[in-house]
Amino acid sequence: MFRLTRDWVIRQLLFEEFGSYSEVVRKALWVGIKVSLFAYGLNICAHLLLYWFDLLPYSLSSALVIASMLTPPITFILATTAYVAVGFSIHELGVSRAEFEWLSRTDMLSGLPNRRAFLELFDQCNKEKSMLVFDIDHFKKVNDSYGHQAGDAVIAEVARILSAVFGEGCVCARIGGEEFAVFSGSIPFAEFVVLGEAARRKIADMRVSVDEREISITMSGGAARALPDQAFDETFSRADKALYAAKAGGRNRIVLSYSTEPVSANRTRCAAA
């Protein structure tokens, strides 16, 4: 009996992550009601026990009236207030943790997932996947000619176009300074490449206005396929190798890698990005 009672009390006082402050209050009110009823029952039992052993210093009727008037409201107020105070703290910690997790997985400039988040999402997808790696051509010249504010504006606009073209069926990320990546586990490779070509064309046609000057850029890309059991690193190596071929072939193009074999040798990225 004691163990059952103890376990019940513990279950009532257990805290969880709350979705909102109103959820904390609703839970606190329900816990307050149950705890006050439980305390009231204990109080009644204690008075009856004292009465049984003739230890009650006043009449049983007076004791029951006092117990009924004091125990439920006092216990309800204390239990509810304590639960709300702790529940609000837990909710705020949960919100802070969620914000920190979002910040740790998001590139602040582009608003896209960062490399860490992209890698985790890719490896969690147990399907045949398609990956595209994009790199802005001659991005250093943009920063040198127009300033870093202009470079930031270009990054943000490229991110917007990639998200708009590829849509919800794909994951777009900024994985480096001027490097972006996209993958999908739900779109066939041929269709995925068509979307990549559409994004490349839109980016080539875009104009970014900074200080009354218009900036135009192009992007090169490398596309690769991944089997369900192939991890990020080996797929990225193939896509990156295709990207290097696109750079070497004149830029502003996408080169495809149909192979699913691991890339045996690492290569050095072209210095002129």
For CA atoms 56, 59, 60, 66, the dihedral sign is negative
17: annotated active-site residue: no
Q: Catalytic: which of 157, 178, 197, 261?
A: 178
Q: In what order do the strands lie in the sheet with 129-136?
A: 171-174, 179-184, 129-136, 219-226, 254-257
Active site residues: 178
